[in-house]
Amino acid sequence: MSAWRLVEGTAPDPRPASDAAPRPAEAARPERPRTGARRMLVVAAVALLTLVGAGGLAAAGTGMFAEKPDGCGKPDRNIQLYAVELPRDGTQIRIGYGLTPQTASYPGPLMEMMEGECLAITLHNQVSAETLAALRTDPAHPLGVSLHVHGVKYTQLSDGTVQNGSYVPPGESRTYTWYAQPRNNKTGSQGTAGYWWYHDHVVGGPHGTQGLSAGLFGGLVVRRPGDPKPDRTYTVVFGDRQSINLRRGEATDTCTEANPQPGPTCLVARKGERVEFVVVGIGNDMHTFHLHGHSWADTRTGVVPNGQPFADSVPVIDNKTLGPGDSFGVQVVAGDAVGPGHWMLHCHMQFHSDAGMSTMLHVLDENGNMPPGMGHQHPAAAPPATAGGAAAPATDGQHQHS
């Protein structure tokens, strides 16, 4: 790589040299004559490289991108994240993120940040090259997994794409830095508080389409100081083939009625608990998030904060539309006024719910019991997407707040 390319911040092209077509970014950049001034820049850059030394330029392999966003100093927290192959769902390869290799799941673990916080996440790719090659749509596409995030701030080194080399080959690790930039009324920064998500952007092709289909995604909540804290949070991802968290029909709900354990496939709460849903759309279809018996305020936090007057300008809704890549959050008080029971949660596009895009929020009484006579039956019409459901027994799909 020439010093000039380094100054331009151009990542090495991962494609073989035989692929002569220019990348879009290069194609879009007109050729400019190398003027005297530009030659001086190159000389200055070479001098700078000599002065600083190769060790001072940790980012040299991918160009001179900053390692962290402005405002993000030493990370407030470090998290280890593992990408792990899970049992197949029929023939479908499943891969999940986990805080440990043993607890990988889809959706992956809920990430929570407070505005102002800087988070370093080291992703360890434990998925074999063989598995990643099987998901590849183009034999020239590199093998790896990545971590791409919505909503918070990151530099090119934490983008999680092949275009700038910010992915993790099999058996390797890479640290991504996320910054929950706070709101600042003086500078006009709108802040990053909200409901977001993270996902792979590399598996199979340049947009991680096969990584998403395999299960490499999870929810992210960025809170602003003073935001209402829920008692528990579930990530609900509406996806391809009319799936909720990549499952359909009965496979979306593995709760045992006697002793339901919260998890990606068992949405359960006690009456009176504040339950938060991080709702994400993946794939190619529009969906709607609808929950029976409950409603919420259509605000940033999904709730009108305690003590603030209800305003007619804030709609109260029980159904919200979701496009691919969209995410939002809602908070409901479980069983509020309606009591314990099995409350349906489904997509309201009728042919989607009919195909199995439907699950349950199980609301127990205050003592954690389902009152007698509240037994529910799964709809017989909805066949599971594929055999098995590959319900990883991890509890990472939900998050209980202490």
Site residues (CB under 5 A) for Cu ion?
Answer: 287, 347, 349, 352
In the complex, the smallest distance separating the C-beta of residue 287 from Cu ion, rounded to whole angstroms, is 3
CA angle 112, 114, 117 (to 5 degrees): 105
The closest of 21, 20, 100, 23 to 10, measured between CA atoms, is 23
- The residue among 283 and 340 lying less far from Cu ion, judged by its C-beta, is 283
The closest of 251, 330, 239 to 291, measured between CA atoms, is 330
- The residue among 137 and 350 lying less far from Cu ion, judged by its C-beta, is 350
Residues 229/401, Cβ–Cβ less than 8 Å: yes
- The residue among 325 and 368 lying less far from Cu ion, judged by its C-beta, is 325
Residues 335/274, Cβ–Cβ less than 8 Å: no
Q: Which residue has the tokens 């899970």?
A: 86
In the complex, the smallest distance separating the C-beta of residue 286 from Cu ion, rounded to whole angstroms, is 7
The closest of 211, 223, 180, 198 to 68, measured between CA atoms, is 180
Parallel/antiparallel/unpaired status of strands 173-179 and 217-223: unpaired
Task: Give the residue ranges of DSSP H helices in 119-182.
Answer: 129-134
Beta pairing partners, 341? 363
Token digits of residue 233: 């949070």
In the complex, the smallest distance separating the C-beta of residue 175 from Cu ion, rounded to whole angstroms, is 36
- The residue among 157 and 349 lying less far from Cu ion, judged by its C-beta, is 349
- The residue among 155 and 288 lying less far from Cu ion, judged by its C-beta, is 288
In the complex, the smallest distance separating the C-beta of residue 347 from Cu ion, rounded to whole angstroms, is 3
- The residue among 349 and 361 lying less far from Cu ion, judged by its C-beta, is 349
- The residue among 290 and 362 lying less far from Cu ion, judged by its C-beta, is 290
Torsion of CA 328, 331, 337, 342, to 10 degrees: 70
In the complex, the smallest distance separating the C-beta of residue 390 from Cu ion, rounded to whole angstroms, is 21
- The residue among 248 and 399 lying less far from Cu ion, judged by its C-beta, is 248
For 15, other C-beta atoms within 10 Å of its C-beta total 15
Q: Across the chain, how many H-helices and E-strands are there?
A: 6, 20
Q: Fill in the amino acid letter for 218.
A: G
In the complex, the smallest distance separating the C-beta of residue 281 from Cu ion, rounded to whole angstroms, is 9
| H or E segment and range at residue 114 | strand 111-114
In the complex, the smallest distance separating the C-beta of residue 321 from Cu ion, rounded to whole angstroms, is 10
In the complex, the smallest distance separating the C-beta of residue 282 from Cu ion, rounded to whole angstroms, is 11
